[in-house]
Amino acid sequence: MSNVIRTHRWTATVLTCLALTGIAAGPAIAATADAEAHPTDSAFLRASHQGNLAEIAAGQDAQKNATTACVKHVGAVLVRDHTKLDADTKALAGKLGVDLPVAPSKEQQDALAAVMAKAGSSAYDAAWLKTQAAAHEKTLARIDNQIANGRNHEITAAARTARPVVAMHLDMVRGGTCRHAAEPREIHAGNGGQAALAADVPSVLAVPAVAVGGVLVAAGAFWAAGRIRRNDGR
């Protein structure tokens, strides 16, 4: 009976050791996966880049052709914010090896052309606001989808960062009505942001470090198992 008890105790210790090793290896696997972008994440980066290009072009056109100070102001805000967002997008795409389009989508180009055709008329501002409201609603939906379903932590963290900016833009043009707005409030990314910090650690360093940690945990558990067996044998 005592041999059975000793065997069970030793087996439990070994299983605990293996479980701890598996837990330690988990972050290493995640870090390796973040070294590349999943097709869904890559598509988000490409769409974000095209959206930024379209908003920068629209903002520049509003600064030249809008008839009201409010629309000119919103146009300047779009140029400022989407230039910054696009710089971040391009940097992340370069880091992850994602190729980006060189121009907005045909749909975006056609929408801007339709607005530009009204330049010099009283209809320009209303058309510009309506187009920007629709564009930012689509962008916000795309960002929310990335936050909910994205696989790459860095890209999802970037989406979290962009969200309050895009939401502010939408508030400025919602319903085709121009509004001045305050600066977007800073938000904390929570678990997504923490995961992004972990993803910033190069996988070439993270994987060996975690692996060594797992080995040390395993060694400690096996040493404890040996002590149990020796004590039980006395």
The average pLDDT across 58-74 equals 97
Measured in degrees and rounded to the nearest 5, phi and psi for residue 21 equal -60, -40
What dihedral do alpha carbons 176, 179, 183, 189 form, nearest 10°? -30
Q: Reply yes or no on whether the pLDDT at 18 is more than 70.
A: no
Q: Report the pLDDT value the prediction gives residue 34, as an integer from 0 to 100.
A: 55
67-110: pLDDT as tens digits: 999 999 999 999 999 999 999 999 999 999 999 999 999 999 99
Q: Reply yes or no on whether the pLDDT at 194 is more than 50.
A: no
Q: Reply yes or no on whether the pLDDT at 165 is more than 60.
A: yes
CA distances from 30 to 25, 120, 154, 187, 209 (A): 9, 54, 12, 25, 14
Those residues whose C-beta lies under 8 Å from the C-beta of residue 17, and which sit 6 or more positions away, are 217, 218, 220, 221, 222, 225
Higher pLDDT, 30 or 144: 144
Measured in degrees and rounded to the nearest 5, phi and psi for residue 153 equal -65, -35
Q: Encoding tokens for residue 178? A: 């121009």
